[in-house]
Amino acid sequence: MSLEAVMYAVNVRREGNTLVTLDQTLLPNVTEYLNLTTAEEMWEAIYSLRVRGAPAIGIFAGYAMAILAKQIPAPDFDTFYQDCTRLSDYLNSSRPTAVNLSCMLRRMDAVVQANKDKAHEELLAALDVEAKAIHDEDIAMCRKISEYGLSLLKDGDGVITHCNAGPIATSRYGTAQGPFYLSKEAGMNIHVYVDETRPLLQGARLTSYELTKAGVPCTLICDNMASLVMKQGKVQAVFFGCDRIARNGDVANKIGSSGLAIIANHYGIPVYSLGPSTTIDFNCPTGEQIPIEERPHSEIKELFYEKPMALPEVQCYNPAFDVTDHSLLAGIVTEQGIAYPPFSESFAKLFPEEMKNV
């Protein structure tokens, strides 16, 4: 697979009244697309991580609401809107931490309300247009984020990344992985160290898969090897994505990101979170207010093992995310530019309208 083929991979798309998405749970060994038509199927796809990555979930949500709206009987607007709200709330319950899901669902809701006095077919058409706009905007955002991220690297750098923030987690290019593909295009020699990202192994199954297929030099390591790799001088930067960013710059990302940032700070290695501005929750003051999803214990004890690796009665704790304190970050890379500490001041310059309303 070529670099271009990887960057332009389409993992979420709409075909008529069907939502088509790559089943990421089967990678890297099986490539299979799901054809989803019901709210239950769509909810399950998000919850089970068949579709994952904050931007990809946002795109998925837009298309989902456009498709589901067509299935709602519409004797009058109030009844239609009640059903739209119910479906939106239902989809939103599938992943509480990733802000793109709720953000894009609110965006689709705003379209419904803005077109309430129009003919029903016009309202449905407006939802179609908005869903496509969400997708197109994400493509442009990812390209910008990738360019800004690449500006932080120099030829010969080693970079460690955690989880997966590449094309299959977004629309194209990726966020935290995007700079690596652009470095390949530019002829730069960047080596990526990929954390496995336990317990769901998104780094091993997805990131190393994408980078290898694109011809980007990479080395897969276990999460607990990061400190040694940094101590050996192989890493000059840490790049990871984000599922929600608080107003003060605290970043919620895949579990293990915070620990990685703490280790990097010990060795004086800069840490950057890369993601679209839609992941910034301007109404969330700090990371303390970010809800952390807890997932089934079976993911720790059973999921990737032939036999369970712990006794059935062993208790587990399986949070899907942690929050990296803003003090550990050298910068937050968005499509509008790079925010540097203090982040509240940087956000005010980059996003004056959003900050004005908080």
Active site residues: 243
CA distance 288 to 246: 9
Edge-to-edge order in the sheet of strand 18-22? 12-15, 18-22, 33-36
Sequence-distant (6+) residues with CB within 8 A of 262 are: 328
Residue ranges of alpha helices (H) inside the chain are 3-7, 39-47, 54-69, 77-92, 99-114, 120-150, 178-185, 202, 208-214, 226-231, 257-266, 298-301, 343-350, 352-356
Residue whose entry in the numeric block shows the structure tokens 């470095």: 183
CA distance 220 to 204: 7
Backbone dihedral angles phi then psi of residue 224, each to the nearest 5 degrees:
-85, 10
Q: Which residues pair with 162 in a beta bridge?
A: 240
**Three-class DSSP category at 14:** strand
193, 157 Cβ separation under 8 angstroms: no
